[in-house]
Amino acid sequence: MDYRHGSHTKFSLHIHVVWITKYRKKVLKGELANFIRDIIREECSKMKVDILKGHVSKDHIHLLLSIPPQVTISRLVQQLKGKSSFKALSHFPELKKVFWGRHVWARGYFVHTRGNVTDEVIKMYIENQKHDDDDFQIEG
């Protein structure tokens, strides 16, 4: 497994994110699709988020991302959707006729974490560690 490193961290946080255009309009093609792709790349780079795989479909975006621990998913998606919407509406004035209210994207998004270790494996690992003090257990 490939781990990323921070000054005091070692991590592998991968997420799958999907969001759709408002009204599910199929407008993400040609120059606009390339423009949106470039903004996503730029914003991810600023936040030190690695794009492992991504695709701009006609009415939605799919991204598989590796994020550092200090980046929250909600803030990341807010940045990606907000910046791309603002810049696209500024650069392509004809979009304002399709998307009134200054929003290209529908509300919300889908996110899924990726991992190959189940909760049960982690629970067993913690349980099987040598404990000097059996009275100190954290369970919810």
Low-confidence stretches of the chain (pLDDT < 70) are: 1, 130-140
125 is catalytic: yes
pLDDT at 135: 57
Q: What is the pLDDT of residue 122?
A: 76
Q: Which of 3, 23, 109, 125 is catalytic?
A: 125
Query: Tokens 């550092």 label which residue?
Result: 68
pLDDT of residue 119: 75
d(CA 14, CA 52): 9
And the tokens for 86? 């603002």
Q: Terminal CA-to-CA distance of the chain, rounded, Å?
A: 30
- Which pLDDT value is given to residue 68? 96
